[in-house]
Chain A
Amino acid sequence: MIWTKEDGGWNPYLAGALLGILAILSVYATTLWLGKSSYLGASTTFVRAAGLLEQTISPEHVAANAYFTKTKVRIDWQFMLVTGIFLGALLSSLTDRSFKFESVPPIWQERFGPSIWKRGAGAFLGGIIAMVGARLASGCPSGHGLSGVMQLSVSSLVAVAMFFIFGIIVAALVYGRRLS
């Protein structure tokens, strides 16, 4: 088994296993210090970010919204976790020189051409659909995929199957033709 790859990346099995350890330590640490077992997740933070942005325009609207009230719009543990992902990826990519400005990814470019705006529109629309789905299902590949499956949650096992089934179908439809 090779531990690192030519580009300085780590073997995905090794990096994944280390993430498993981090997930365990994180639940333990939140239970110990915050008094509540918190599991890794990311998508709720987007609700809080939306709420914080909307508050600058209309605080009354956010206060009156049932979903924002339920989620509690504030900079909490998970919000900082997601902020940390940005910093960790930045540090890691700068130190191993894999940091690269990219405006259009190669697979996208092969199918839709080099237009930044086409890529931007696709990513934006995809983002809207994905986040409505993630909030309806109560989780994303972090909250359901990692944390939920680790606990063998029924909802997470079903959600992850749906993520992949529909992801595979749509990826084949969107990128499939010119690649094969």
Chain B
Amino acid sequence: MSIDQWLGLITGVFFGLLLQKGRVLRFEKQVGALLLKDMTIVKFMFSAILVGMVGITLLTDAGIITASHKSMNLGAVLLGGALFGVGWAVMGFCPGTSIGALGEGRWHALFAIAGMVAGAALYAELYPFFQATVMTWKEFGKIGLPEALGVSPWLIIPLFWAAAISLFFWFEKKKL
């Protein structure tokens, strides 16, 4: 194996370990969040975001790493995001957690994984169609919120932290 494959594998093992220890791989946790009854995955996800956001922004500001925004193509993000939400609720896994759920013995994740591989193959065939239709609507490019608003990320990050921490307190109060 090459160095990029080794690095991916080692990082992935820790990623899988943390997903499993956080107990966010399970169907019950994924669907529980969407039914607004168990916010474990939201707590986990936003804790990762809060910590990651500070480090990533510091390293980007220092010129050590480069940012990698995904393109803000309005039609693609709105329709794609909606379709993902629909499929996610029925499947009860997302792409990364389906693989992890298989690792902890939830073997029905295999059906979800097979469906997602089929979905990827289908998308490859539909790609020219989407390019000619949904994607022609409006393209804003690869932008971050700070540059879109013309402010420093360090103005947005504290607000994001405050909103997420308030949400956490509310979850704990409601025992979600």
- B-binding residues in A (CB < 8 A): 5, 7, 9-10, 12-24, 26-31, 33-34, 37-40, 42-43, 45-47, 49-51, 53-54, 65-68, 75-93, 96, 98-108, 116, 119-172, 174-176, 179
Contacts and interface: CB of A to CB of B under 8 A. Distances in A.
Nearest to A65: B124
Given A19-B48, A130-B94, A84 B13 contact: yes
Contact of B96 (A54, A141, A158): A141
Contacts of A14: 47
B55 A20 contact: yes
Contacts of B72: 153-155, 158
Interface residues of B, number: 126
Given A10-B22, A16-B45, A20-B55, A47 B120 contact: yes
A103 B16 CA distance: 21
Contacts of B22: 9-10, 12, 15-16, 19
A164 B85 contact: yes
Given A13-B47, A80-B5, A88 B17 contact: yes
Contacts of A26: 11
B96 A24 contact: no
B32 A141 contact: no
Contact of B91 (A46, A79, A107, A123): A123
Interface in B104-160: 104-109, 111-128, 130, 134, 140, 142-146, 148, 153, 156-157, 160
